[in-house]
Chains A and B, each alone.
Chain A
Amino acid sequence: MAPPRRSRRPRTTLLILVLAAVSIITLDARGGFHVITSGVRSVASDAFTPVRSGVNAIVEPIGSFLAGSVHYGAVREQNQKLQAEIDQMKMQNAAAADQAAAMKQLTALLHLPYLANLQTVPAEVTDFGTSDFAATIDIDMGRADGVQLDMPVVGNGGLVGQVVEVSHHTATVRLITDGQSSVGVRYGPAPGSLAVLDGAGAGKPLNADLVPSNTPLTDGEVFTTSGLQGALFPPDIPVARVVASHTGATASQESVSLQPLADLAHLRYVTVVLWGPGS
């Protein structure tokens, strides 16, 4: 019996498939084709969300049960400790309410535009990135909640990132530590100098670009978004603080490392700012 004919030309098949894949990647990277792929991704994500939450609802209790039975002693101990902490916090809560009121007043006094007049949507983080090759998070808010492409996302005390994919009820946020991320920032005494913070990968510090050599910077100095016309982020959102800076003997720029203010590894809730570069 002769083998089937179609499998006779594997190299031709491979060549055609490689060409097809490279064409798709190229078309996706430039031009209007990205709108199509983005739309298809959005539809796939919408279709898959109920499946994912359904399976998670089944799988998570089983996982928790197994983990719970293994760590029973530790869980019991932790429970007692938490109970004590709750009592402690109840006491602190009263004091905190007072402080929060004061903080609100101070913010108003200082005219901090950071989110003051901007509409926001709170969102829960559902996943820490579907790929090991990019620093992204998935959130449980989408187009239906007013979230749109390119909107800034803040949380845990600073800028978190920007919405890069959005479907009906979910969205993907590219973190500021992702290698594709660039944030226009302002630093130093008012009116401030301008720089760009580039991501270098999840968990790694940000690098500042365009800081002139021998600029005096103190460790801990906070860089905020510049909010220049056409910028991707509204002004004055705190982004990162300086952890190290030095100028090489022949360098034309100062090499500055910054730590994001938001604890990006432990995000649970974030806030999407309903703001676009045009608004």
Chain B
Amino acid sequence: MSRSELGRLTLVVLLFLVVQETVMLDLRIGGVHPDILVLLPIVAGIIGGPSRGATIGFGTGLVSDLFLPTPFGLSALVGCLVGFAVGLATQALDRTAGWLAPVAALAGSAVYEVTYGALGSVLGQPQMLHVALVRIVVVVSVTNAVLAVPAVRLMSWAMAEASTEGMPMSDAGVGAAR
């Protein structure tokens, strides 16, 4: 990862963080607020494939953990798993298809939230499964599906040197899906 790419990624993560910590925290739907930081590993997986999805998911997860009362490192763990899974699931698909990002965001966010609650519960916080999990999954997944397309645009800009992992060889020189 080059320095300029790291700089762009930091900017995108900061933008997501500011929007999450200001607008999204005030926006409560049925007592649950959206979580757009969950989108970062998902779109990184779509654009960069499993390996980069996992790495960026881990990094953005650690940043989210700084602002969450849940165990430190849990978002990083779930972020790298989800980034990897989304990368793996989408690498055989046409990443430029319009439907891909919203569908991946919908499914990826749902998997993220369920895994988050389940792993938190396993890691000594049993109350994390005694929340309105269905409501959380619905609110987070739907808002992230709506925001998936702009998120992919931003992440494509940040990951200009996106890996060609899993892409057909003929597309290898083209770079990221835009």
Partner-B contacts on A (CB < 8 A): 1, 3-4, 6-10, 13-14, 17-18, 20-25, 28-29, 34, 37, 40-41, 44-45, 48, 51-52, 55-56, 59, 63, 127-134, 136, 164-165, 172, 174, 178-180, 199-204
Contact = CB atoms under 8 A, between A and B. Distances in A.
A165 B67 CA distance: 10
B3 to A, nearest CB: 16
Contact of A203 (B28, B31, B52, B76): B31
Contacts, number: 152
A21 B77 contact: yes
A48 B125 contact: no
A132 B136 contact: yes
B67 A10 contact: no
Interface centre among A6, A130, A204 (most CB of B within 10 A): A130
Given A130-B68, A201-B130, A29 B165 contact: no
Contacts of A130: 21, 25, 67-69
A179 B128 contact: yes
B128 A133 contact: yes
Interface stretch (B102-110, B115-123, B141-149, B150-158): B115-123
Contact of B84 (A10, A44, A203): A10
A179 B71 CA distance: 13
Q: Main SS of chain B's interface residues?
A: helix
Contacts of B57: 17
A128 B69 CA distance: 12
Nearest to B79: A21
B172 A22 contact: no
B21 A40 contact: no
A164 B35 CA distance: 22
Interface string B12-42: 0000011001110110100111010000000
A14 B80 contact: yes
B84 A14 contact: yes
The 6 closest A-B pairs by CB, nearest first: A179-B127, A24-B73, A21-B77, A10-B51, A7-B165, A25-B73
Given A17-B55, A18-B81, A201-B130, A165 B163 contact: no
Contacts of B9: none
Contacts of B87: 10
Given A14-B84, A25-B72, A203-B31, A59 B22 contact: yes
Chain B interface residue bracket vs A: 35 or more
A127 B54 contact: no
Interface centre among B61, B77, B127, B173 (most CB of A within 10 A): B127
A228 B80 CA distance: 45
Nearest to A23: B73
23 contacts: A6-B51, A7-B163, A7-B164, A10-B54, A14-B50, A17-B76, A17-B80, A22-B73, A25-B71, A25-B123, A28-B73, A29-B124, A44-B67, A45-B67, A51-B18, A59-B22, A131-B68, A132-B132, A133-B131, A134-B70, A165-B69, A179-B127, A199-B127
B26 to A, nearest CB: 8
Given A13-B51, A48-B21, A59-B22, A41 B66 contact: yes
Contacts of B124: 29
A132 B113 CA distance: 10
A179 B72 contact: no
A264 to B, nearest CB: 12
Given A130-B21, A133-B136, 6 more contacts: A13-B55, A24-B72, A24-B73, A44-B67, A48-B17, A179-B127
Contacts of B131: 132-133, 201-202
B135 to A, nearest CB: 8
A164 to B, nearest CB: 7
B1 to A, nearest CB: 9
B74 interface: yes
A21 B80 contact: yes
